[in-house]
Structure 1
Amino acid sequence: MKKSDLALGIFLLSAIIFMIIPMPAALLDILLALNISIALIILLNALFSQEALNMSSFPSILLFTTLFRISLNISSTKLILTTGAPGNVVTTFGNFVGGGDLIVGIIVYIVLIIIQFIVINKGSERVAEVTARFTLDAMPGKQMAIDADLNTGAITDVQARERREKIQEESSFFGAMDGATKYVKGDATAGLVITFINFIGGIAIGMFRQGLGFNEALDRYTILTIGDGLVSQIPSLMISLATGILVTKVSKEADMGDILVKQLFSIPKVLYMVGAAMIFLGITTPLNVVVFSAYGLLFIISGRVIANRIEIAGIEEEVNTDESSADEIRRPENVTSLLQVDPIELEFGYGIIPLADTNQGGDLLDRVVMIRRQVALELGCVVPMIRLRDNIQLKPNQYVIKIKGTPVSEGEILFDHYMAMNPGYVEEEITGIPTFEPSFHLPAIWITESQRERAESLGYTVVDPPSIIATHLTEVIRNNLGELLTRQDVQNLINNVQESNSTLISELIPKLLGIGEVQKVLQNLLKEGISIRDLITILETLADFASTTRDTDVLTEYVRQSLKRAISNKYFPDSETTSVVTLDPKIEQEIMGSVKQTEQGTYLTLDPEKTQDIIHSVGEEVSKLENLGKNPIIITSPIVRMYFKKLTSDYYKDLIVISYNEIESDVELQSVGMVTA
């Protein structure tokens, strides 16, 4: 048997034996001193433990010490009533603590009882009850947080197990504490009842057994009874105080002493105000001026010392921050942060900063937010975050748009000017600084604020500088959105669809197609300005045809045909007849005859001279449409469309190539030319 187990067993057995067997007064003194020592040990351990679980056995300790103290109460009661000599400790407490006076002793005892019952026991019981309830209510949330951290890899299985065990220990501890506080309350009640019995029984035995007079018996036995009550209630009071301290602990970072000192004496101005108030009271009232002024000076000096410490700590923290920043810059691995490339950047010279500064009334940031919203609604794709930064290497009014760190377009504006563009029907031209609109490279002029009203009245389209930049940025994003679409973006889009269409996703991915192949199809659509917002239709089409081919170009054509309503609405929005250009069937046959299939995909082996003839013919026909003010649209057969688009994409980026299967049956078309060679 372990020594600790043996000691605990003897402790409990002795408490039971003392209730039965009479105890000598000398042994009672030894045990009462032991009881006081144990109460002090428990109180100080509760005070300096960093968290409540450091004393997880406290409910059991409460039960054992309560039993031991009651057994000593019974033994002292026997000695008081039988011999009138309960030993040195009880007599000393009755005479010394009670002042040797019956009335003083009774008052001191009653005060102790009131403090323990009304203040400490009642508060500890309520706090323990509330803490137990909140701990149990919070258990499911804590368990879910642990599971979430474990699933994300933030913690290991061992750490998760430790945290779960700690939660279980907390719930068990505070639940037990809720019941254990009843021991403390019962102990105090029992002590009060035993003291009353000792008082009545002592007087009765003194008068009827020992022949003492009433006053003599009252004086003798009351002092002993109060001594017995005090020697019992003081350790009980310490245990009650330890219970209150333990159930009200909130910090796990430091012991109670550190917390109290830091929280009470950490604000200099509080100490200044208290010191001034104490000096004021000492001088203006009959209170002892020396005592109150001394306290006031002490608080003021303490406040000054703490203020100096705070200032020194602030300087040290600033120095440490600077050193940490310097160390971070000097660290070799800091270079890795420079390798990150922003998907979209808008760099501008210092002259454009007021447009991006909200404090100066600039709304460029708000316009960027609207651009992302507009593109998301129009093309069904989330635009990556757009980083805005100033660049002193640029001209003051110049801006550059970068895609993945590479400049793709730039422009220059005149601050406090407006750009006026002639739509072709202005009544009278106005003077201005000639320029080109950056988005579509149309001729325009810069005009001043005073010319704006007149220009609008004459029919000019007038645009302010923020709108110019926003429009330019929007067009660049539209033209490069396919390149900006990543696999993670595709996965996020699929996750949104999966919530309501799990069957479709489970059938398509990854059984038929991978995320990368779906990405290629979506990129093909975005490159030609086709919205992918109807993602369910796109994925269903891929699920229908992916079993026959995994060629992403061919799958893109199938998807385009399934989106013919959206395509028709985009390019043929009204009921009027639309002018288009068709492709000569002979050219279509030649293109199809030059298609070569390889493992890496398909490519054209068309004769270079024939290619130049086709491109020349396309240029002539597109010019006809542009002269009519129409969009350059060429209609081809479905099987040729993607190859013809690839053939012309390097020469005419804005050329719209549509197959017959992508046009609704109610759309009326008029051919104004044919591409031949």
Structure 2
Amino acid sequence: MKKAGLSKMAVPIGVVGVVLLLVVPLPAAMLDMLIVVNIALSLVILLTAMYVKRPLDFSVFPSIILIATLFRLGLNVASTRLVLRDAYAGEVIHAFGSFVVGGSLVIGLVIFMILVVIQFVVITNGAGRVAEVGARFTLDAMPGKQMAIDADLNAGILTEAEARKRRAEVTAEADFYGAMDGGSKFVKGDAIAGIVITIINLVGGFIIGMMQRGMSAGEALETYSLLTVGDGLVTQIPALLLSVATGIICTRASAEDDLGTAASGQLLQSRTALTIAGGAAIVFALIPGMPKLPFLAVGIVMLIASQRLKANEAKAALEAEQAAATQLPGAPAKDTNEQLIEEMRVHALEIHLSPDLVDLVRPGASDDLLGRIRSLRRKIALDLGIVVPPVRTRDSVELAHATYAVRVAGVEVARGSLPPGRVLALGDDLSSLPGEQVREPVFGLDGKWVPAELRFAAEMSGATVVDRVSVLITHLSNVVTQNADRLLSREDVRVLTEGVKQVNPSVVEELIPGVMSLGEVQRVLQGLLAEGVAIRDLSRIYEALTLRAKVSPDPEGLVEAARRELGPSITASHARNNVLRVITLDPVLEHSLLEGLRPGEGGTQLSIDVPRAEAMLVSYQQVRSQSEGRGEHPVLVCAPAIRPALHRLIAGQVGPATVLSYTEVTGSGIQIETVGVVRDVAAVAA
């Protein structure tokens, strides 16, 4: 039989053998062998518990407790049968009893009772209590650990596989400590059973020796006391080892080293503690009547250990200084390829903070920046359909006081200030509040950074008060939305496509790679994101791309095909209360724009003279400003053919604008309300 088969069968065979111990009488020689096996097994369990680095590395321990306890109780039954029947239970029990009893039966019984008390009162009760508390605390902390794993997964710190592994570890830890709580009850019950069996052996043997074997009272007491003490020792010593192992496992925290290494390293970490303890031992030696040699020996050893620890600390400090002296300023500690590559890597999204703002990302900060970033990544994923890359936060001494900067692909795209101890008050009338007048970076609102203790006063004056982290998160959200197309990488598209393939495989298989490559799909999705169109409905987008790409691979045509398919959702995103307020083009102007449409390398272009284009843009701005002054947010609607070119013209000259085509707003079931018309002012003037 192979080794794996033997290992698999060993435990079942052993359990069956233990059951037989309770029924079948054993010869004394075999009992000796099993007692030695029991002692050796308990010692192995104890040492294993000391050398594991984490409790979960010995996850089978609760089951071993049950099997070892059952084995020991089986030996108790077998030894009791031999003691009461033959007044002899093998050489091991006789040797243990003789060694402890020695020349005095009373001293032997007293020592045995002390061992029983230590086992039952101290070790077993302590281990049971620790297991009970550990199980309760572990189960109570389980939801929080699961939430932390989910948060790290959402933040991109963990992959899906790593998150599954961490969740499995948390579940296994809860199961382990729950099993340990029950296993400790086995240990306690075993101690009680040992005491009961000892009493039975002593009393029952005394009676049997006098009534059946014709022994005198003294002879019966001496014989069965020796056997009782020996039998109790060979069972109580393994039980004591198992109880200690239980306590060690339950009190171990997760560590990188085994118990011996961690204990020696932590006990010898304080030179002052060793010096004081050694001096105290020497002082005790000077007290009249105290034995001088033991105290002096211990004190001198501790003082020597403290001096060696001091020398090691000085040596480590000198080596650190030498390493720092030989290293160039600003150079990394090591110039391994991995570290150089890490230094070279350009991160997709970064937040640089001045040194006085680093407290925003420290654990336990009142303003949880990292937690808010995780929430923002989730919100953008649900709004735009992209997974924002993990945001790297780092300090920068190059930034001015209370300043932050947001970088996309290594390029700074936004900057702002977050004065410590202040909140941002936004409103029309802030003259009564102290602070420097500033402009909010996203919406351009007037505001003031006021002391945090005046927050309530600012709210009472009608101002909207925003904390520092909210200002930064709002700014970051705006940056991510405006640069969503740059943040969508080829790998992101692959992951998103795999997600679509799981629920709609035919759409993906028909499009990629037969009709379009992954890079071409990425370019289309970037085109949609550049105009603020969400790409959550990838199945519908891929269906539209499949049909259009078979006709023409033109990128602009592919983007427009996807927009037409997403028309109702695009329109709904700009509607308010089921009403879409639109700005239209004068028919004459629109016709002239259609006639001036020309193809170009970056897509179609509007071929019109500069004065006419400027006049059209001025008319658009006037109509848009009037509508926004009434609290409306209109969109410009035009013919599908000129929509891409007109959007590029307005976005390049005026700024961000929403331009929809007639095909996108029709058939959506949303009420259309025209709030203005863009006219050809130059033509009218002529």
TM bucket normalised to smaller: 0.5 to 0.7
Summarize deviations over 1:404-453 as a string: whole Å, max 9, x none: 34577999xxxxxxxxxxxxxxxxxxxxxxxxx9x99x9xxxxxxxxxxx
Q: Pick closer, same or farther for the CA change 1:197–1:655 going to 2, 3 Å.
A: closer
Partner residue of 1:618 out of 607, 613, 628: 613
Is the CA contact (8 Å cut-off) linking 1:48 and 1:255 kept in structure 2? no
- Secondary structure of the residue that 1:668 maps to in structure 2? strand
Number of the residue aligned with 2:487 = 484
What secondary structure sits across from 2:673 in the alignment?
Answer: coil
The whole-number CA distance in structure 2 between the counterparts of 1:631 and 1:553 is: 30
Distance in 1 separating the partners of 2:72 and 2:580: 84
Using a 3 Å threshold, how does the CA distance of structure 1 residues 89 and 475 change in structure 2: closer, same or farther?
closer
> 1:98-142, CA deviations, whole angstroms, 9 ceiling, x for partnerless residues?
464455455445445544554556667778899999999999999
Q: Which amino acid aligns with 2:676?
A: L
- 1:337 and 2:342 are equivalent in the alignment: yes
CA offset digits 1:189-212 (Å, max 9, x no partner):
223222223334545689xx58xx
Is residue 74 of structure 1 aligned with residue 84 of structure 2?
Answer: yes
Question: Could you tell me which residue of structure 2 aligns to residue 457 of structure 1?
Answer: none
From 191, 194, 205, the counterpart of 1:198 = 205
Match of 1:654 in 2: 655
Q: Which of 297, 307, 310 in structure 1 is aligned with 2:309?
A: 307
Q: What is the rounded CA distance, in whole Å, between the counterparts of 1:198 and 1:627 in structure 2?
A: 112
1-side partners of 2:18 and 2:570: how far apart?
A: 85
For 1:379 and 1:190, locate their aligned partners in 2 and report how far apart those are by CA, in whole Å: 68
Q: Which letter does structure 1 place at the counterpart of 2:223?
A: L
Partner residue in 2 for 1:58: 68
Amino acid at match of 1:242: L
Spell out, residue by residue over 1:459-488, the C-alpha distance to the aligned partner (whole angstroms, 9 max, x if none).
xxxxxxx9x999999987665444334467
- Going from structure 1 to structure 2, the CA distance change for 1:103 and 1:240 (only over 3 Å counts) comes to same
C-alpha deviation, 1:327, in angstroms:
8.9
Give 3-state SS (helix, strand or coil) of 2:346's partner.
Answer: coil
User: Would the alpha carbon gap of residues 244 and 141 (structure 1) be closer, same or farther in structure 2, given more than 3 Å must change?
Assistant: farther
The structure-2 alpha-carbon separation of the partners of 1:402 and 1:340, relative to structure 1 and needing over 3 Å to count, comes to: same
Alignment match, 1:642 = 643
Equivalent residues in 2 for 1:312-331 (5 A)? 315=317, 329-331=334-336
SS at match of 1:640: coil
Q: Where does 1:316-395 land on structure 2 (aligned, <5 Å)?
A: 329-343=334-348, 380-381=383-384, 385=391, 390=396
Could you say what secondary structure the match of 1:618 adopts? helix
Answer yes or no: is the 8 Å Cα contact 2:120–2:191 preserved in 1. Answer: no
1:636-655 deviations in Å (ceiling 9; x for gaps)? 74233325427746973638
Identify if the C-alpha distance between structure 1 residues 628 and 518 changes in structure 2 by more than 3 Å, giving closer, same or farther: same
**Aligned counterparts of 2:35 and 2:306: Cα–Cα separation in 1:** 41
Q: Which residue of 2 aligns with 1:669?
A: 676
Q: What secondary structure does 1:667 align onto? A: strand
**Does the CA-based 8 Å contact 2:82-2:88 persist in structure 1?**
no
Structure 1 residue aligned with 2:589: 584
CA distance in 2, matches of 1:516, 1:273: 70
Residues 170 and 76 of structure 1: CA distance in aligned 2, closer, same or farther (over 3 Å): farther
Report the alpha carbon displacement of residue 264 of structure 1 after superposing the two structures with TM: 5.5
Q: Which residue identity lines up with residue 641 of structure 2 in the other structure?
A: V
Task: Compare CA radii of gyration and give the structure with the larger one.
Answer: 1
* Alpha-carbon displacement from aligned partner over 1:38-94 (angstroms, at most 9, x marks no partner): 565345434433456599563564255435533542365279xxxxxx999959956
Amino acid at match of 2:346: V
Q: Tell me the distance in 2 between the aligned counterparts of 1:365 and 1:41.
A: 54
**CA shift in 2, pair 1:644/1:557, >3 Å:** farther
Aligned length: 560
Contact 2:142-2:170 at 8 Å conserved across structures = no
Q: Deviations over 1:251-289 (max 9, x none)?
A: 6977766566556565444444544555556666x7625
SS at match of 1:288: coil
Q: State the match for 2:560 in structure 1.
A: 553
**C-alpha distance in structure 1 between counterparts of 2:192 and 2:590, whole Å:** 102
Local SS of the residue matching 1:669 = strand
TM-score (ref. length: structure 1): 0.56
Per the alignment, residue 186 of structure 1 pairs with 193
Q: Is 1:279–1:292's contact at 8 Å kept on the other side of the alignment?
A: no
Amino acid of the structure 2 residue aligned with 1:638: A
Structure 1 residues 338 and 573, CA, compared in 2 at 3 Å: closer, same or farther?
same
SS at match of 1:645: helix
Give the aligned partner of residue 231 of structure 1. 230
Partner Cα distance (2:34, 2:618) in 1: 107
CA RMSD of aligned residues (A): 7.2
Counterpart of 2:613, as a letter, is V
Tell me the equivalent position of 2:421: none
| C-alpha contact 2:355 2:395 (8 A) present in aligned 1 | no
Contact 1:121 1:181 in 2 (8 A): yes
Kept in 2, the 8 Å contact 1:578–1:668? The answer is yes
How many Å apart are 1:241 and its aligned residue?
1.6
Q: Which amino acid aligns with 1:340?
A: R
Q: Partner amino acid for 2:87?
A: T
Structure 1 gap ranges (5+)? 22-27, 80-85, 211-216, 412-436, 443-465
- Contact 1:195 / 1:229 at 8 angstroms: preserved in 2? yes
For 1:194, give the aligned amino acid. Answer: N
Q: 3-state SS of the aligned residue for 2:641?
A: helix
Deviation larger for 474-483 or 165-174: 165-174
Aligned counterparts of 1:637 and 1:228: Cα–Cα separation in 2: 105
Task: State the match for 1:41 in structure 2.
Answer: 40
- Contact 2:406/2:415 (<8 A) preserved: yes
What SS does the aligned partner of 2:674 have?
coil
* Counterpart-to-counterpart distance in 2, 1:549 and 1:333: 44
3-state SS, counterpart of residue 680 of structure 2: strand
Give the match's secondary structure for 2:230: helix
Question: What's the TM-score, normalizing by structure 2?
Answer: 0.55
Is contact 2:84-2:205 (8 Å) kept? no
Q: Deviations over 1:491-534 (max 9, x none)?
A: 999999x9xxx99x859964887898886666445544x564xx
Name the % identity: 18
Shift of 1:343: 3.5
Cα distance change, pair 202–127 in 1 and its aligned pair in 2 (3 A): farther
Amino acid at match of 2:639: P
CA-CA distance at 1:376 after TM superposition: 7.3
| Partner SS, residue 640 of structure 2 | helix
Residue equivalent to 2:242: 243
One-letter amino acid matched to 1:290: K
**Residue-by-residue CA offset, 1:281-313 (whole Å, 9 max, x unaligned):** 6666x7625267426624642651563376268
Q: 1:618 Cα shift?
A: 0.9
Deviates more, 1:331-340 or 1:121-130: 121-130
Q: Which amino acid aligns with 1:642?
A: R
Can you list the C-alpha shifts for 1:540-581, whole angstroms capped at 9, x where unaligned? 9859967864632233256457644655779x999xx98976
Counterpart CA distance in 2 for 1:525 and 1:93 is 88
Distance 1:261 1:78, change over 3 A: same
Native 8 Å contact 2:585 2:677 kept in 1: yes
Aligned to 1:430: none
Q: Is the 8 A contact 1:35 1:235 kept in 2?
A: no
User: In 1, are the aligned partners of 2:583 and 2:676 still within 8 Å (CA)?
Assistant: yes
2:450 aligns with none
Between the aligned partners of 1:20 and 1:358, the Cα distance in structure 2 is: 72
